[in-house]
Structure 1
Amino acid sequence: MVPTIKDVARAAGVSTASVSRVLTNHPATSPEMRERVLAAARELNFRPNAVARSLRSTGTRTVGLVVSDLLNPYFTELARAVEDTARAAGYSVIVGNADEDPAQQDHYIRILLERQVDGLIVVPTVDTSPLLREAAELNHNLVLVDRPADDVDAPTVLADASSAIAELVDHLVAGGRTDPAIIAGPEHVGTARVRLEHFRAALAEHGIALRPERVLHGDFRAASGHDAMAALLAAEPRPDAVFVTNGSMALGVLQLLAEQHAADPLLVPDDIALAVFDDMPWFTLLRPTVTAIAQPTAELGERAMRLLLARINGTDLPDGDALRCRLTVRDSTLPRRSA
C-alpha cells in the first residue's frame, strides 16, 4: 500500500498539519521538526504527490471542477452555474469529466493540482477517495457538491430530496398505485442509495413494502434505463408505476416505451405511471407530459463556488442547509381513467 501523509505523521510523531508545513517548505517549521518528518518520509519511501506539490504556489486565478458525467444535462447545468459565479469573481474554471470512473476522477484531480489551481470543486464518483481525503488533510481549498465522500473533511453542498419523493409517493398512492418499481442508480453512489431509501421509506408510510424484484439498478446512463425498463415490463404482473432516479436513465426508458408501442402498446398513465428524478425542459413537450422532481441545480453550483471563493480568501462559510428539491406533477402520473 502506498504510504500517505497520515503514515508519515504517525511515524514522525507529529500532526498531519506539521507534515504539510514541512512538505511545502513553510517558514514556521523548526529544523528538528523538518528532520523528523523527512526521516520518516525516507523510511516509508513516501513521495510527495500532486496534492502536496500544488500547495507550494497559489494565485493562478483558476479553479478546477471535476464532475461525474458531462453528458448528463444535470452536470452541464451545474458546471455552467459554477463557471458563471467564478467568472463574476474574476476566476476561470477548468473542467474534468470523470465519466463515473473513480480512476479517471483521480487522474483529473492530480492534473488540476499539478496545474496549481487555487481550489477544487468535485462531484465524487464513489463514497471513498484517498486522494480527496489527502487534499483535505493538506488544507487544500476543496468543496464537494451533489454527493458526499466519507472521511473527507471539506464543505459539502447537497440537495434534499426527501420531501419531494414523499410528495411523489403520496400522489401515486392517492391515484391508486400500490405496486411501484424504481430504477435506481449505482449502489456505490451515495445519492443513488439515498433516493432509493427515501422512496422505500415513503412507501412504508402507506403500509406498502417495496418488493426486491421491483428494485433495479442502472448506471445513470440511458442504456441502463432502457434495459431496466425492459426487465420491468417483462415481469408478471407489471408494476403499476415506475420511478426513474435520473434524467439520463429516463431517456432510455422513454426510448423503450416508444419501441414497445409498436408491438404491444402501453399507455402512460393508464397502464403504468412514470415519474423521473431530474426535470428536463422537454418533459413538457412530450405526450403525456412527464411528472418530475427538479433539483436546485444552479443554486448548488453557485453555492459550491461561493464556498470555494471564501476558502480561497481565507474565510470559512457554513455549508448551509441542504437545498430542497421540488415535485412537479404532470400527466404521466395521473390516475387511471378507469380508477
Structure 2
Amino acid sequence: MAEVARIAGVSTTTVSHVLNKTRTVAPETEELVRLAVERTGYRHNLAARALATQSTDTIAVAMSVVTNPYFAELVRDIDRLLRRAGYTMIVADTNDDPAVAADVIENLLARRVSGLIVSPLEAGGPHAAAGAELARALGRLVDDNFPLLFLDRRSAMPADQVYSECAESTYGLTAHLAEQGHTRIGYVLGSPVATSAGDRLDGYRRAVADLGLDDDPALIIEGESDEHLTEQRLTAHYSEAKSPATALVVSNNQMTLGAMRALRKCRLKIPRDVALVCYDDFEWADLFDPQITAIAQNVPALAASAVDLLLSRIEEPDRPPRSVTVPTEYHHRDSCGCGRRKHRGVSAR
C-alpha cells in the first residue's frame, strides 16, 4: 500500500479510502490510485482488513440451491443486490437436511461472515435430533444479536424473516379446481422439514373443509419435494386407488415435473383426465402442452426485502425483528381445464 501511495503521489490513508470506499475521493485522485494499483499488481489483503475491522463484508447464504431452480434464481438476485451494496456473497448448499445445515452454518460462521441468510428447517420426524441441534445453533445467533435473516420459510424464532404468502394461495388453487366441479382433489405435499410445506397444506385443508370436498387421507400424497418420489407415489396412486384424485394441487415446482411424468406413465391426459395446478411457477410452465396454471412467487421482491432487512440489521443491531410476507401472483393457463380467463391473484374465499 505504501508503494501504491508513493507512485500515485498520495498518502496511504487516501489509498485506503479508495480501496475500501470509506470516503469520497476526487475522481482524478482515485484514477491515480487505480493506475498505481495496476502498475504494482497490488492485491488488497482482505484477511488483514478483517482482523483490523472485525468485519469481512461477506454475507453467507445457506439453503438448498443446487437442486431447486427457484432457490438458484433467488440467490442470483441476492448476489446482485449485495454486490451493489459492496458485499461479497458465499453460498453453501444445505440439501434441505438439518444435519448438513448445522455443519454448513458452523463452517460459514468460522469464516467471520458479516451476516447470514438461512432457509430454516423444522426439527420433525427422522430429522428430530439434527433439527434440534440446528435450532440451538440458530437460537444462539439470535440471542447474540448476530445479523441473521430467515428466507422463504417462517420461523418461530424472533429474527428478521422474509417469505412468500402460502396458505391463502393454496386455498385459492384448491377452490379454483372445486369451481370446475372437482370434489376429489389430491394434494402433493412437500418437504417434511419445510414450514412452507405445512403452511401450504393448511390452505388446502381449509379449502377442503370450507367447500365440502372429499376429506380422504389417501388424497394427500407425500412427494417430499423430490421429483422422483413424487413420480413413484403418484404412479402408485393412479394405478392402485379405487377412487383416485380427479385433480391435483402440487405444492412446488420440483414435484410438478414428477407429477406430470406419473400422469404420462399412467396414460392420463391433463386436464382431460386429471386437472393440475401448482404452487411455484417455473421457467418452462408455459412451454408445456397444456400450459401449467401456477402460483408464482415474486423472486425479485423476496431478494430485495431480504437484503434490505439484513443490511439494516447490520447497521442497527438492536432494532426489533421484522417479518415481510411477499404476495404471490396467479398465472392462469390451461392445465386446470377451465379455459383461459384473465386474472391476477387468487381469491381465498
Could you state the TM-score of these two structures normalised by the residue count of structure 1?
0.77
* Alpha-carbon distance between aligned partners in 1 of 2:229 and 2:53, rounded to the nearest angstrom: 44
Aligned-pair distance for 1:205?
Answer: 1.7
Q: How does 1:60-209 map to 2 (within 5 A)?
A: 60-127=56-123, 129-150=135-156, 152-209=157-214
RMSD: 2.1
Distance 1:172 1:232 in 2: 19
- For the residues of structure 2 that align with 1:56 and 1:294, how far apart are their CA atoms? 45
Q: What letter corresponds to residue 313 of structure 1 in structure 2?
A: E
| Deviation string, structure 1 residues 233-292 (Cα, Å, up to 9, x no partner) | 1211221101111111111112223333xxxx3111111101111101211011011111
Q: Which moved more, 1:320-329 or 1:57-66?
A: 320-329
Please say if residues 174 and 185 of structure 2, whose CA atoms lie closer than 8 Å, have aligned partners that are also in contact. Answer: no
Paired with 2:328 and 2:51, the residues of 1 have a C-alpha distance of: 37
Select 2:277's aligned residue among 275, 278, 283: 275
The answer on whether the counterparts of 1:66 and 1:105 sit within 8 Å (CA) in structure 2 is yes
SS of the aligned residue for 2:285 comes to helix
Instruction: Kindly tell me the number of residue pairs found equivalent between the two proteins.
Output: 278
- How far apart are residue 80 of structure 1 and its match? 1.1
Trace 1:261-272 onto structure 2 (pairs within 5 A): 265-272=267-274
Would the aligned equivalents of 2:231 and 2:259 in 1 still touch at CA under 8 Å?
yes
Residues 222 and 249 of structure 1 are in contact (CA less than 8 Å); yes or no, is this contact kept in structure 2?
yes
Match of residue 212 from structure 1: 217
Matched AA of 1:134: R
Could you say if the C-alpha distance between residues 118 and 55 of structure 1 is closer, same or farther in structure 2, counting changes exceeding 3 Å? Answer: farther
The C-alpha deviation readout for 1:188-228, integer Å capped at 9, x for no partner, is: 32111111110110122212243101112122121121122
Partner of 2:221, secondary structure, is strand
Does residue 242 (structure 1) correspond to residue 248 (structure 2)? The answer is yes
SS in 2 for 1:310: helix
1:305-325 deviations in Å (ceiling 9; x for gaps): 111111111254763541111
C-alpha separation in 1, matches of 2:53 and 2:116: 15
- Residue 233 of structure 1 corresponds to 238
Q: Which amino acid aligns with 1:291?
A: T
Q: Is the 8 A contact 2:250 2:279 kept in 1?
A: yes
- Aligned 8 A contact 1:270 1:335 in 2: no
* Runs of 4+ off more than 6 Å: 54-57
Q: For the residues of structure 2 that align with 1:321 and 1:142, how far apart are their CA atoms?
A: 14
In structure 2, the CA distance between the partners of 1:55 and 1:158, relative to structure 1 (3 Å rule), is farther
In 2, Cα distance between equivalents of 1:320 and 1:99? 25
Between the aligned residues of both structures, percent identity stands at 31
Aligned partner of 1:291 in structure 2 is 293
Q: How does 1:250-265 map to 2 (within 5 A)?
A: 250-260=256-266, 265=267
Residue 322 of structure 2 corresponds to which residue in structure 1?
Answer: 319
1:11-67 superposed Cα distances (whole Å, 9 cap, x missing partner): xxxxxxxxxxxxxxxxxxxxxxxxxxxxxxxxxxxxxxxxxxx99973211010001
Amino acid across the alignment from 2:263: L
The 8 Å contact of residues 291 and 335 in structure 2, kept in 1 or not, is answered as: yes
With normalisation by structure 2, the TM-score equals: 0.75
Query: Kindly tell me: are residues 117 and 101 of structure 1, through their superposed partners in 2, closer, same or farther at Cα, counting changes over 3 Å?
Result: same
Check whether the contact 2:165–2:327 (CA below 8 A) recurs between aligned residues: yes
The one-letter amino acid paired with 1:204 is: A
AA aligned to 2:114 is D
Kindly provide the amino acid, as one letter, of the partner of residue 206 in structure 1.
Answer: L
Structure 1 runs not aligned, ≥5 long: 1-53
The one-letter code matched in structure 2 to 1:131 is: A
Distance in structure 1 (CA, Å) of the matches to 2:113 and 2:211? 50
Write the distance in 1 (CA, Å) between the matches of 2:194 and 2:272. Answer: 33
Cα distance between partner residues in 2 of 1:289 and 1:192: 24
Where does residue 7 of structure 1 map in the other structure?
A: none
Structure 2 counterpart of 1:15: none
Classify the secondary structure of the residue corresponding to 1:333: coil
The answer to whether the Cα contact below 8 Å between 2:174 and 2:249 also exists between their aligned partners in 1 is no
Structure 2: gaps spanning 5 or more residues: 1-49, 124-131, 340-349
Cα 1:226–1:113 change in 2 (3 A) is same
Q: Do residues 329 (structure 1) and 335 (structure 2) align?
A: no
CA contact (8 A) 1:68 1:98 kept: yes
Please say which structure displays the higher CA radius of gyration.
2
